[in-house]
Amino acid sequence: MIMVGAMAAVLWIIGVVMKVPNAVRWNMMVILLVGVMLLHVILPDGHPLRMATGGDARLWAILFGFGFLIWGYRKILLQLKVRAAEAQALPTKTDSFSETELERYARHIILREVGGMGQKALRDARVLVVGAGGLGAPALQYLAAAGVGTIGVIDDDAVENANLQRQVIHLDRNIGMPKVQSAAEAMKAQNPFVTVRPYHRRLTADIAADLFADYDLVLDGTDNFDTRYLVNETAVQSQTPLIAAALTQWEGQISLYDPSAGTPCYACVFPTAPDPSLVPSCAEAGVIGPLPGVIGAMMAVEAIKRITGAGEGLGGRLLLYDALYAQTRSIAVKPRSDCTVCQGRGAKS
């Protein structure tokens, strides 16, 4: 016993002198103990080395087991302390707003059209944003800043250098990071009181229905017609209000589609996708940097209005914005009885 203790002390002192980490030193103690136990198993009874190291392997086995229990207890205790510290660091959601939240949302609360009830509705709302690019970036930022309680974002792209001219939620250091993770990081940094659910994958027909079922409102900021039509079909089937926008070069458009409330669906207004040559992508045709910010912020405004019941939304109207000539106009749009998606369910009989 004395010899083993002396060896352990020597190993520990050597580790301290050499500035070996504590974990490595403890591993050395374990290796020493296991070696002693092996000696007791291999050597015959009465062997001098066995006698010098305690004489019985069971003694060391008990000591080893006792030490393992202490180590396990400390490990669990440390994990509980870490979780408790994390829980204290995170803001908690209660029925009432904290002083920090009241101060943060004060400019909303004093608005007659929003007030405390509207802010609570925002906190209770669940909004899904499809796309974390040009339109999704500002929409996500303003939804988080406004205190929307749960924000989902789905996108399968990664941040690229060419995105940073207009997708202002992403930072240069996040180039190569999935856009949903980059956006989630920025939103949580902006407002730790919101819950962000990032989905790093493409929206497909096999997951769309289940995903939409978790949300009250959907914002579509995608840049391709296949996804836009999928978003619209799923929104119609789940009776989820949809705010969809699009842009190119200097122009943008936005509307709210909710056939269950009497508006047309996206397919009523755009029954077929245009020829790709007529609608080039931003990479092909270019886009002025602040334009996605303007239209994306409009999407966030329409979402807040829809959630709080403030004002009049864009249901039944297509808003067009021409940044080059500083012109805005609104076009009335109606449900189509021959629409293959909503069957004109928003039309008045």
The CATH number of whichever domain residue 193 belongs to comes to: 3.40.50.720
pTM here is 0.71
According to DSSP, residue 260 is labeled G
Check pLDDT > 70 for residue 56. no
The pair of structure tokens assigned to 349 is 């009989």
Mark whether 160 and 82 lie in a shared domain: no
Name the percent of the chain lying above pLDDT 90: 65
Tell me, what's the pLDDT at 89? 46
Whether 282 maps to a domain, the answer reads yes
Mark whether 33 and 163 lie in a shared domain: no
3-state secondary structure of 296: helix
Tell me, what's the pLDDT at 123? 96
Q: Where are the beta strands (DSSP E) in the chain?
A: 126-130, 150-154, 195-199, 217-220, 242-248, 251-257, 317-322, 327-332
Mean pLDDT, residues 192-208: 96
Q: What is the CA angle 195-197-198, rounded to 5?
A: 140
Q: What is the Cβ-side half-sphere exposure of residue 207, based on CA atoms within 13 angstroms? A: 10
* Residue 82 lies in domain: 2-89
Whether 342 maps to a domain, the answer reads no
Whether 170 maps to a domain, the answer reads yes
Whether 106 maps to a domain, the answer reads no
Whether 315 maps to a domain, the answer reads yes
| Phi, psi (degrees; rounded to nearest 5) at 86 | -65, -40
Mark whether 188 and 310 lie in a shared domain: yes
Mark whether 85 and 118 lie in a shared domain: no
Mark whether 208 and 140 lie in a shared domain: yes
In 3D space, the residue among 223, 198, 199, 200 whose CA is nearest the CA of residue 296 turns out to be: 223
265 catalytic per annotation: no
- The model's pLDDT over 114-140, given as tens digits with 9 standing for 90+, comes to 999 999 999 999 999 999 999 999 999
Mark whether 203 and 311 lie in a shared domain: yes
CA separation for the pair 147, 114 (Å, rounded):
12
Whether 53 maps to a domain, the answer reads yes
Mean pLDDT, residues 257-286: 85
In 3D space, the residue among 187, 85, 200, 201 whose CA is nearest the CA of residue 138 turns out to be: 187
Mark whether 291 and 160 lie in a shared domain: yes
Q: What is the CA angle 198-200-203, rounded to 5?
A: 100
CA separation for the pair 267, 237 (Å, rounded):
13
Whether 105 maps to a domain, the answer reads no
3-state secondary structure of 328: strand
Whether 172 maps to a domain, the answer reads yes
More confident residue, 88 or 289: 289
Mark whether 190 and 275 lie in a shared domain: yes
Check pLDDT > 90 for residue 54. no
Q: How many CB atoms lie within 10 A of CB 116?
A: 14
Mark whether 75 and 197 lie in a shared domain: no
**End-of-domain residue from the set 23, 58, 89:** 89
Number of domains making up the chain: 2
Mark whether 118 and 84 lie in a shared domain: no
Check pLDDT > 60 for residue 257. yes
Mark whether 54 and 18 lie in a shared domain: yes
Tell me, what's the pLDDT at 21? 66
CA separation for the pair 109, 102 (Å, rounded):
8
Mark whether 48 and 139 lie in a shared domain: no
**Phi-psi map region of 152: left, alpha, beta (phi>0 left; psi -120 to 50 alpha):** beta
Residues in a beta bridge with 220: 130, 244
Q: Given the structure tokens 């730790």, which residue do they identify? A: 192
More confident residue, 81 or 152: 152
